[in-house]
Structure 1
Amino acid sequence: MLHRRSDQQIPAPPGQRSATLAAWVRSWRAGLASFDELLDEVTGGEEHLVRHPDGTEESLAAALTASPRVSPDAVRVVLPAAGDPRGLPGPGAFSSAALVVGEGVVLGATGLVPEEDTSSPVLPDPADRWAGTRWLAYPLPETPVPVEPLTLAEADHDLTMALTETIGALRQLDVARLPPGLARGLAALRGEDGAGPALPVGYGPRARRLSARATTIAGVLALASADASGAAVNAYETSARDAALRPLATAARRARAAAVNSPLE
């Protein structure tokens, strides 16, 4: 969970599993973080498995240690969305799967996507529900699509502009605003770095600030989406509110990816 200074709890936003994995694998491959630190941060004590194309499974730890050594720059997070495939290596099974769940990790010639949770939220015995993550491994295209670079400065500027414009749009919409308190939370973020999870050793101050701020904003938006109607009173106002939030969601998603994928220092 992400937390702000108030009593409002902000959930981890979509894509956080892949962002965390990519950041820590990059730091580990650079020799800046230990493998034990990587596992602690990524798994949080839960079981993480990797399923390969041939149907075999192994632990995430075994898969990472057995994978070919790649440079930190060959590891990156992708946080795609419908109509915005930025960062994907091109058509293929990995890109299709990452678009469905909105996240994935490029690890050299392999792509990892967390399996979508299709289990029932209500089970006779909660203890029967597996608490862990299964990563599906996919081979990547031999000639991937070149990555569109987005610098930290560009991502920070786009996020600031989107936040300002979104707050202004929400104020004009009045009844189509966010659920009570969340609009104020967005406004407060204009002057704060945010409270997202810290990036590992190797990332510079600017990447850390951008990651924390963008992750917190994405968490606020995830919390807002849990209340589909917010303060809107009809379908038109709900649609208008969603339209006002969409550019900010895009900017936050791109900023998170830019921070995680930025060059290590």
Structure 2
Amino acid sequence: MSSASATLAVWSSAWLAGTAAPDDVLDALAPWSEAHDVLAADDASAVATELPGPGAAPTSTAMLLAAVRRGAPRGQARVVLPAAGDVRGLPGPGPFSEEAMVAGEGVLFPDAGFGVVPAPIADGVVRWSVHAVPDPGPVPEYVPLNDAERELRAQVRNAAAALTDLGVARHRPGVREEIAAALRGRPQALWPAGMPPQALRVLQQADEVDAILSAAAGDEPGGALSATAAIARSDALRPIAAAVRVARRAAVAEAVRVLVSVPRH
């Protein structure tokens, strides 16, 4: 499942490297929504990217790719997955960072000087808001995929234990079936043929842990859980959620690295 931003980061990087076609990028976004449109978030971003701004009719993701190509013909994309207390990868204070924090995701095109954030605006429609980001900030700390996968596996065990220790499974006997159903109901991301197997495996594991987190967080206080127990649950699950974000970022970064290094045919 991962995220729409991860999909765009991987596929657009492969396209810029010449290992994917623009239609491949657009097709890969289809599982996330029936329709996608693009609009610059403000007038300055519209001028910088040559995309329609506030008050104008939105354009297509094909035009977004054209803007990326104009800004950085051989650039690479970077996914950001921020959360409260975890701003790794964000360029610093500004509209892009603020909107990405709300959405929990976004894509930076550092060489092109802008970033995009997806958000649903209507049933079956996702809008990609484009923000000028003249200073993308430092490259995030490199996390080896082996380390991210090892930590995620440890957190899989922690997540399972947390369900038991926090009483979620006891209060909702069908929680494991709920997790399996949630995974089946999520969008099935499409990835390039050259996607490294380990990156795929880590993304799948991250989705599984994320589903467990969603099930655990869904047991609201007031009935089975007291307010104190709910706080304890939140504290126990926070490092697991952080490991999921780290694993997803590491998997996307590794996929981009591998895909852009494939020789052109």
Q: Same fold (TM over 0.5)?
A: yes
Give the CA deviation at 1:134.
Answer: 0.8
Q: How many residues align?
A: 233
- What code does the residue aligned with 2:15 have? W
Match of 1:158 in 2: 151
Match of 1:238 in 2: 230
Matches within 5 A, 1:1-265: 16-44=3-31, 46-52=34-40, 53-54=42-43, 55=54, 56=56, 57-67=58-68, 68-71=71-74, 74-108=76-110, 109-115=113-119, 117=121, 129-142=122-135, 144-174=137-167, 179-182=172-175, 197-229=189-221, 232-262=224-254, 263-265=257-259
Give the CA deviation at 1:203.
Answer: 2.2
The 1:215–1:69 alpha-carbon spacing in structure 2 relative to 1, beyond 3 Å, is same
The 1:225–1:196 alpha-carbon spacing in structure 2 relative to 1, beyond 3 Å, is farther
Structure 2 unmatched runs, 5+: 44-53, 180-186, 260-265
Contact 1:208 / 1:259 at 8 angstroms: preserved in 2?
Answer: yes
Quote the Cα distance in structure 2 between the aligned partners of 1:41 and 1:182. 31
The 1:160–1:224 alpha-carbon spacing in structure 2 relative to 1, beyond 3 Å, is same
Residues 36-75 of structure 1, C-alpha deviations (whole Å, 9 max, x = no match): 1211110347221111122243111112123323435x30
Contact 1:196 / 1:211 at 8 angstroms: preserved in 2?
Answer: no
Contact 2:114 / 2:134 at 8 angstroms: preserved in 1?
Answer: no
The 1:94–1:171 alpha-carbon spacing in structure 2 relative to 1, beyond 3 Å, is same
What TM-score results when the alignment is normalised by the length of structure 1?
0.76
Contact 1:98 / 1:104 at 8 angstroms: preserved in 2?
Answer: yes
Residues 204-255 of structure 1, C-alpha deviations (whole Å, 9 max, x = no match): 1111111111123223423443443598332222222222222111111221
| Structure that is richer in helix per residue | 2
The 1:198–1:62 alpha-carbon spacing in structure 2 relative to 1, beyond 3 Å, is closer
Q: Identity rate of aligned residues, in percent?
A: 38
Give the CA deviation at 1:104.
Answer: 0.3
SS class of match (2:167): helix
SS class of match (1:135): strand
Residues 117-150 of structure 1, C-alpha deviations (whole Å, 9 max, x = no match): 5xxxxxxxxxxx5521111111113362331211
SS class of match (1:149): coil
SS class of match (1:62): helix
Quote the Cα distance in structure 1 between the aligned partners of 2:168 and 2:72. 54
Structure 1 unmatched runs, 5+: 1-11, 118-128, 187-194
RMSD: 2.9
Contact 2:219 / 2:225 at 8 angstroms: preserved in 1?
Answer: no
SS class of match (1:261): helix
Contact 1:78 / 1:105 at 8 angstroms: preserved in 2?
Answer: yes
- What code does the residue aligned with 1:80 have? P
Quote the Cα distance in structure 1 between the aligned partners of 2:15 and 2:87. 27
The 1:185–1:58 alpha-carbon spacing in structure 2 relative to 1, beyond 3 Å, is closer
Shifted more, 210-219 versus 176-185: the winner is: 176-185
